[in-house]
Amino acid sequence: MTIRSLEKYINALWDWSCLDGCFGNSKISLTDIDGMAEHKGHFILIEAKRPGAAVPMGQQIMFNQLVKLGFLVIVFWGEDPKIQKLCVWPNDPIPANMEDLRKLVADWYIKS
């Protein structure tokens, strides 16, 4: 998705606190997904993090379950448009750049 108007994009964001309390007595809350695609029944999820940011425990649990379901989950760290490192979940992050991400996504598409 290309953001053509940052103002319109920000104005369209939802405050999901309206669902607080809907998940019983748990710490569950909604998470944002930075990128997701489907091709012929195969799914890829991409999560972008700022340099040094941790993947919250809730996202870790969700990513682990999605991988078990057959999703390709890629997490990368950097600042647009520069990627510093990435991981194919649940592997450890490795140094990477935008071309590495593009190759992973293109390979997923070809194989799906």
Q: pLDDT for 65-109, tens place per residue?
A: 999 999 999 999 999 899 999 999 999 999 999 999 999 999 999
Domain that holds residue 60: 31-111
Residue 47 lies in a domain: yes
- CATH code for the domain in which residue 82 is found: 3.40.1350.10
For residues 83 and 97, the answer to whether their CB atoms sit within 8 Å is: yes
User: What's the rounded mean pLDDT across residues 4-12?
Assistant: 88
For residues 76 and 83, the answer to whether their CB atoms sit within 8 Å is: yes
Distance CA(6)–CA(111), nearest Å, equals 34
Number of domains in the chain: 1
Tokens linked to 109: 């598409």
User: What's the rounded mean pLDDT across residues 47-71?
Assistant: 97
Distance CA(56)–CA(111), nearest Å, equals 30
Tokens linked to 79: 């600042």
Query: What is residue 13's predicted lDDT score, i.e. its pLDDT?
Result: 87
- Three-state secondary structure call for residue 110: helix
Q: Higher confidence at residue 30 or residue 93?
A: 93
Residue 9: other Cβ atoms inside 10 A: 11
pTM of this structure:
0.89
Give, in order, the Cα–Cα distances in Å from 103 to each of 15, 39, 76. 34, 16, 13
Residue 88 lies in a domain: yes
Residue 106 lies in a domain: yes
